[in-house]
Amino acid sequence: MERKTIRKEDISKALDAVSEALITKLREKGDHTFSSTHEILGVISEEHQELINAVTSNDHVEVARECLDLAVAAVYALACIEAGTLDW
């Protein structure tokens, strides 16, 4: 069976959603950086576990929500690393 393809517009829409969710998260939580790679791993691991739970429940809306949360955490972690703001 051949895999379906995805339109560039759908990828762009997903990236826009990540950007919007990141801005929202910054407004809610503030712009303090992650302190360490261990903190990054903890946050990413927690989001990953929530994604596993959503997949287990077979709820596509919740899976999408958790994918977004995971993407936001990963992008923010990358930004903190690139900015050189980790203490250790």
Helix (H, G, I), strand (E, B), or coil: what is residue 62? helix
Contacts 24+ apart (CB under 8 A), 47-56: 47/73
Inter-CA distances, 76 with 8, 53, 57, 62, 72, Å: 23, 23, 27, 21, 6
What is the pLDDT, as a whole number, of residue 1? 87
> Is 0.85 topped by the overall pTM?
yes
Q: What is the pLDDT of residues 33-80, one digit of tens each?
A: 999 999 999 999 999 999 999 999 999 999 999 999 999 999 999 999
Q: What is the pLDDT of residues 11-25, one digit of tens each?
A: 999 999 999 999 999
